Every structure is written in C-alpha cells, then in structure tokens.
Amino acid sequence: MKKSFIILILISFLFTNDCILAQQNIVPTIKSYNQSNIEWSSSDSWIENRIPNENDIVQVNGDLLLDKSYTIKSLIINQESSIKNKSDLKPTLTINGDISNYGTISEISDGIFYLEVAGNIINDGEWENSETKLIGSEAQIIESKNPIGGTLELNGKVITINSPNIVRCKNVKGTVTLNGTGTLYIEGNTSSGTISGTIPEINFSGTNQSLSATISIPKVIFSGSSLIYSSLSINGNTIIKENAVIKNISDRKPTLTVNGNIFNSGSIDDNTSGCLYLIVSGNITNDGEWKNDSTSIIWDSVEMADNYELYTSNSILTWRTDPIIEKTTSYDISSMLYDTIYWKVRASINNNLTDFSDIKSINAQKIHEFKTMIAIGEYELSLPNALITISELDIKTSTDKYGNFSIVDISNGNYKIDIQADGLESIESNIQISDYQAEISNVVIKLPEWLENIIVKNVINSFDVDSDAKIGIKEAIHALKCVVGIKN
C-alpha cells in the first residue's frame, strides 16, 4: 500500500509538471482587446499598448483586422474571436512557430489573407482564408477537427497526422510526406506534386475536385465527385464509394493509373467531351458503373522480352489454350468489366517462356443496358425519365434523359417489362437477358400501323423535326392523347 501511494504521488507530480510546462509554452506575450474590427497595426488594439513583433506569442481576442504583413513567433485565436484581412488588402501573416485556432480565420472577399506557418497547427475552429503555406524546415504536425479552407501549400517536408485525428483541407499544392495514423480528407483540388507517406488513407470527399498528382499512400478513397485534370497516379489500393463519381475534366484526355487493386461501387465515366483512360495493375472489383472510354490492365516488363502471352479465363481452374499475344505490357479490358475474369501473363524471350505472373482477377456483377424507343414512321423516339418495372423480379428502375436504363446481375431469360412515360398509359414490352452484352440493346415499341400512320400524318407533318431527325416527346404524346384518348 505504501509503494502504491508513492507511485501515485510521483505520477501526479510528473503530470502536473508537464501541464505547467505546456502552459508556459503557450503563454501569450501580447493580447488584443476583446473588441470588434480593431486593426493589427494600431497599438491601441493591444493591451500591452504596442504592436506585436517577431518574438511575440500573440493571443487574439475579439475581431482583429490584419492591415499589413507581419511576422510573429506563435498565434492563439480564442473562441468567439477572429482574424481576417482588412478590405482591399492582401497581407501575409508569417508565424515562425505554432498556431492554435479555436475561433475564426477568414478573409474579406475584396482582398486576400495569406498565412505562412513554420510550426505545428491545431485547428478547432473555422479556417477559411485563401492560402496557408507550410514553411517549416523540419517536420510539422497538423491536428484539425474541422476543414482547413483555401489552399494548403505543402513544403516537401514531413507532416504528421496523429490518430484518432482526421485532417480536412480544401486544396493541396506541392510535395509532402504524410506520416502518422490519421486520415487526410481533401475537399478541393490537388495540383501537380507528390503525396506519399505512411498514413493509412487519403479521402477525396469534395465536389467537382480537379486532381493531378502522384500519390503513394496505402489506400486512396473517392467519396465525392472527382475530375482528373492531366494525370493522376496512385501507388496503393483505390476505393470508389457508392455515389462517388470519377470523370475527366471536359475537353481533356487524362490518364488515371492505379498501381494496386481498385474497388468501384460508384461511377467511372467520361465527361461530355474528352475521355478518361484508366490503367490498373492489380485486381479489379466492379459493383458500380464503369463507362469510361478505355480501361487497360498492365504488368511488369521483362528485359529482352520479344512479346507477352496473356491468358484469360472465367475459372481459375481452366485456362484458354490460345493466349493473347502482346508486344507491350498492357491490354484493353473495357469489354470485360461486367463479368468475372482471371488473367495471368508470361514473357517470351528467344522462344523461351518465363514463369507466369501472379493471377489477377476482374470481379464484376453483370450489367445489361437497354434503350427504350417508340418507332414512329422512319423515326425512333426515345423515352426519357420513364419508369421501368419487371414484376416477376421485383425490379423498378427508370430511364435517363436519353431513354437508357440498366439491369444488374440477373439470370438469363426473357422478361416482360412495363414502361410508364409521362402522360402515357402503361406500355408492355419484352427484353432478353443473355451473357454479357457489350453493346446497348434496344427496346423498340411498335405502334399499330393505323395509329402510326395517323401520327405520321398529323404530327410529323405538322411539327418541326429537329436536326437529328427525331420529333419531340411532347408532340408525340400530344398526338397519342388526341388520337386514342390516352390519360391526362
């Protein structure tokens, strides 16, 4: 009992000492008054009746306006306090030590507020200035419960993110090594640079993020919508979450390279102009939509190889006897992304064959795509935003603005479908499900000849036909209502 009491006293003493030392480290040497819209450059704004210098630990109380560029040692922003630039100005606050924000860092829209930080960052408040630049010559630590807004410019040094800490930032620029056991959430853009390190994951969680970088992190997650700008290389496993979207930036043709496994439960697609090229070295799992222009698998090159023999199979036990011969170390597998395929490769050197590579897999649910159209004369009219029901399979889906719909992973066979378009009674048709269909199948609804003739005479001859020789859905529905009394 006596020993326990002595140990308890010793622990209490050490803990108390540490707290005192920690408090001494952050004791401010100068404090602002708790007032609104006071200017940094005025000595009247400071309790000590002087302007902070480069040796000061500054404590911000109230609402402080930075009207010039300054350099200080450290900065503490208290709760319900703020710092921002003065209107029309673009000052820089350089902090040669640490910054602890419990209030608000922001800027007035007609100016810019730049921050430069050489020490560690604690952010437990709002952080919304345009740019924060890390300038430390040694490793820095970031602890941030809330997003760090604007651009976080990295400095090529080591940044530590400690568990259970999650750092959120908007834009990331530059080169950095990220260590620790926390997670970095990026809600904005990344420009060319290299992001590497031992943190377990990076999560791109923003909307319409423009991405261009080389990332070497064990896991990269896409949970928002991302636009690949020029090229994005990921050395690690990649996960595309449900409802997440990856596309190329419009008018560009970038490449996304994944040197690892990729798991897609979201959407990989091309933008309206340009296209996205995807290259994967590992296993592929696709439970979502995968519609980009081209996806290829890659394998390691072998010195002096004349060519490579690529073997594929639907079963790991039986392989094709006629390999695909490739001169390069890649092969387009765009047509294989809705089935289960295994593949392996070996090189041929002067007619001598190397050992096979490790077996990789493409694991995917089968998807079947259809386009619904009403045939009227020589025209085919698509049915956008129509409700599609397959009663026997308890499936309900809808067509997109082009009349397309898809069905995932159902048994082969013939199925009766019910189509309901705006303003029309139900239309019945049939679809056939077979093995993977590389092309979209058409569901063409034929009208009775007498009705078709009336529509051609009364609609096509009475309404303008647009440039792609299709009449509008509204005109066709109007004619159908007039002719056969279809519901309102």
pLDDT tens profile 257-288: 999 999 999 999 998 888 999 999 999 999 88
Q: Does any domain span residue 109? A: yes
- Residue 321 tokens read as 């006897």
- The verdict on 99 and 131 lying in the same domain is yes
At residue 145, the pLDDT reads 78
- Name which of 125, 118, 122, 172 is nearest 140 in CA terms: 118
Q: By residue range, what is the domain housing residue 327? A: 307-364
- The verdict on 409 and 475 lying in the same domain is no
- The verdict on 149 and 29 lying in the same domain is yes
Q: Which pairs from 427-435 meet CB under 8 Å and 24+ separation?
A: 429/372, 431/368, 431/370, 431/407, 433/368, 433/407, 435/339, 435/366
- The verdict on 315 and 404 lying in the same domain is no
- The verdict on 57 and 141 lying in the same domain is yes
The residue among 79 and 149 whose pLDDT is bigger is: 79
How far is CA 286 from each of CA 262, 275, 298, rounded to the nearest angstrom? 8, 19, 17
How far is the C-alpha of 479 from the C-alpha of 179, rounded, in Å? 67
How far is the C-alpha of 3 from the C-alpha of 289, rounded, in Å? 66
Residue 87 — very low, low, confident or very high, per pLDDT cuts 50/70/90? Answer: very high
What are the beta bridge partners of residue 186? Answer: 169, 204
Q: Which of 153, 181, 207 is at the close of a domain?
A: 153
CATH number of the domain that residue 405 is part of:
2.60.40.1120
- The verdict on 332 and 410 lying in the same domain is no
Residue 52 — very low, low, confident or very high, per pLDDT cuts 50/70/90? Answer: very high
Bond before 164 cis per omega within 30 degrees: yes
At residue 424, the pLDDT reads 60
How far is the C-alpha of 235 from the C-alpha of 259, rounded, in Å? 5
pLDDT tens profile 454-477: 555 555 454 444 434 344 555 555
- Residue 377 tokens read as 């004369």
CA 263, 269, 271, 274 torsion-angle sign: positive
How far is the C-alpha of 302 from the C-alpha of 406, rounded, in Å? 41
Residue 68: partners with Cβ closer than 8 Å, 6 or more residues away: 40, 41, 89, 91
At residue 488, the pLDDT reads 39
- Residue 304 tokens read as 């002096």
- Structurally, how many domains does the chain consist of? 4
Q: Does any domain span residue 382? A: yes
Residue 146 — very low, low, confident or very high, per pLDDT cuts 50/70/90? Answer: confident
Q: Which of 342, 364, 386 is at the close of a domain?
A: 364
- Average pLDDT rounded to a whole number, residues 414-419: 85
Residue 485 has pLDDT above 50, yes or no: no
What are the beta bridge partners of residue 358? Answer: none
Residue 107 has pLDDT above 70, yes or no: yes
How far is the C-alpha of 212 from the C-alpha of 230, rounded, in Å? 6
User: Do residues 295 and 272 touch, judged by C-beta distance below 8 A?
Assistant: no
Q: What is the mean pLDDT of the chain?
A: 82
Q: How far is CA 477 from the centre of its chain?
A: 40
How far is the C-alpha of 162 from the C-alpha of 148, rounded, in Å? 16
- Average pLDDT rounded to a whole number, residues 376-383: 67
CA 369, 372, 376, 381 torsion-angle sign: negative
Highest mean predicted confidence (pLDDT) among 14-18, 191-195, 231-235: 231-235
Residue 356 — very low, low, confident or very high, per pLDDT cuts 50/70/90? Answer: very high
Q: Does any domain span residue 245? A: no
- The verdict on 149 and 122 lying in the same domain is yes
- Name which of 107, 102, 63 is nearest 84 in CA terms: 107
Least reliable range by pLDDT among 122-126, 225-229, 432-436: 432-436
What are the beta bridge partners of residue 123? Answer: 101, 144
- Average pLDDT rounded to a whole number, residues 225-232: 91
- The verdict on 458 and 354 lying in the same domain is no
How far is the C-alpha of 450 from the C-alpha of 460, rounded, in Å? 15
Q: Does any domain span residue 106? A: yes
Q: Does any domain span residue 469? A: yes
Q: Does any domain span residue 129? A: yes
Q: Which pairs from 173-178 meet CB under 8 Å and 24+ separation?
A: 178/202, 178/217
- Average pLDDT rounded to a whole number, residues 208-221: 94
Residue 122 has pLDDT above 80, yes or no: yes
- The verdict on 473 and 398 lying in the same domain is no
- Average pLDDT rounded to a whole number, residues 212-220: 95
Q: Does any domain span residue 430? A: yes
- The verdict on 70 and 45 lying in the same domain is yes
- The verdict on 393 and 466 lying in the same domain is no
Residue 57 has pLDDT above 70, yes or no: yes
Q: Does any domain span residue 89? A: yes
Q: Which pairs from 459-462 meet CB under 8 Å and 24+ separation?
A: 459/376, 460/376, 460/377, 460/379
How far is CA 487 from each of CA 6, 59, 417, 478, 481, rounded to the nearest angstrom? 89, 71, 20, 11, 7
At residue 395, the pLDDT reads 86
Q: What is the pTM of this model?
A: 0.67
- The verdict on 359 and 465 lying in the same domain is no
Residue 126: partners with Cβ closer than 8 Å, 6 or more residues away: 103, 104, 105, 106, 146, 149
